Amino acid sequence: MSPVITFNETSVMWKVDRLTKWEEAEGLGCYFTVGKTKCLSSVNLTIYKRPDRVTLSSVSDVVVEGDQTELRCEIENVGPGSKLSVRWSRADPKQSNTFTHFSDTSFPDLVNELMSVNKTVKLTVTPSREDDGVQYQCAAVLNLDQHPHVFTSQPITITVHCESVITPVNM
169 found inside a domain = no
Cβ atoms within 10 Å of 158's Cβ, excluding its own: 17
**Can you tell me whether residue 22 is helix, strand or coil?**
helix
* Residue type at position 111: V
- The answer to whether 84 touches 131, Cβ cutoff 8 Å, is no
154 found inside a domain = yes
23 found inside a domain = no
Radius of gyration of the chain (CA): 23
33 found inside a domain = no
Structural domain tally of the chain? 1
| 132: containing domain | 53-161
Q: Give, for all 171 residues of the chain, the pLDDT tens digit.
A: 555 666 666 666 667 777 666 665 556 677 777 778 887 777 767 778 999 999 999 988 778 888 888 999 999 999 999 999 999 999 977 777 789 999 999 999 999 998 899 999 999 999 888 888 899 999 999 998 778 999 999 999 888 888 766 666 776
Q: The CATH number of the domain where 151 resides is what?
A: 2.60.40.10
